Structure 1
C-alpha cells in the first residue's frame, strides 16, 4: 500500500511538472506571438506610409504628364491654328489666348517679360 502511495505521489509530481512545462511553453509562445504582432503592426504602418508616399509621387508624375501633354497640345494648336496675342504696353506683360473649340477650352498663358 505504501508503495502505491509513493507511486501516486511520484505520478502527481510528474504531472505537475508536465503542467508547469506546458504553462511555461504557452507563456513563451504568447510572448513570441505578441512580439510578432508588434513587428507586423510596425511593418503594416511602414507599408501604409510607403503606399501613401507612392500615391503622392504617382499624382505628381501624372501632373507632370498632364502638363507635358498640355504643352504638346498647345504647341500643336499653335502650329496648326495660329494664335492670338494681346499685349499691354508699359507693363511689359503679354497674354496668349488659345481657343480650343474642339475641347471647349480657352487657354490663357501669361508671360512677364
Structure 2
C-alpha cells in the first residue's frame, strides 16, 4: 500500500452488554473525530452488532476507510483519539475466548461471476 491509498478497516469488538449504550455513543464520536483530523475518508462508516455470546460480550463491527497508509499511526498519537480508545478499553467483555478487539485491513477483490 502506498501513502496515497485508502485502506478499509474492519474492526471487531466484544463489548459487555451493560456497556453497549455507552460504547455506541463512543462509536458516534470516533469517526467524526477521525474525520475532523482528516485521518479517514468521507465514506460513512458502517456498524453491525451481533447477539451476546455466553461470556455476555456483544460483537460489534465497525467498517471505515483510513485516508492514507500512515493515518492509523497518526491516530495513535493524537490525544482526542487516545481518549476514545482508552474509554472503549474499559468496556470489553471479560473472559471471552475470542479477542476483545481485532482489526483487519482489506482491499477490494475482483471476483468474476
Taking structure 2 as the reference length, what is the TM-score of the superposition? 0.25
Higher helix residue share = 1
Greater relative CO (CA pairs within 8 A, separation 6+): 2
Higher strand residue share = 2
Taking structure 1 as the reference length, what is the TM-score of the superposition? 0.25
Q: Which has the larger radius of gyration?
A: 1
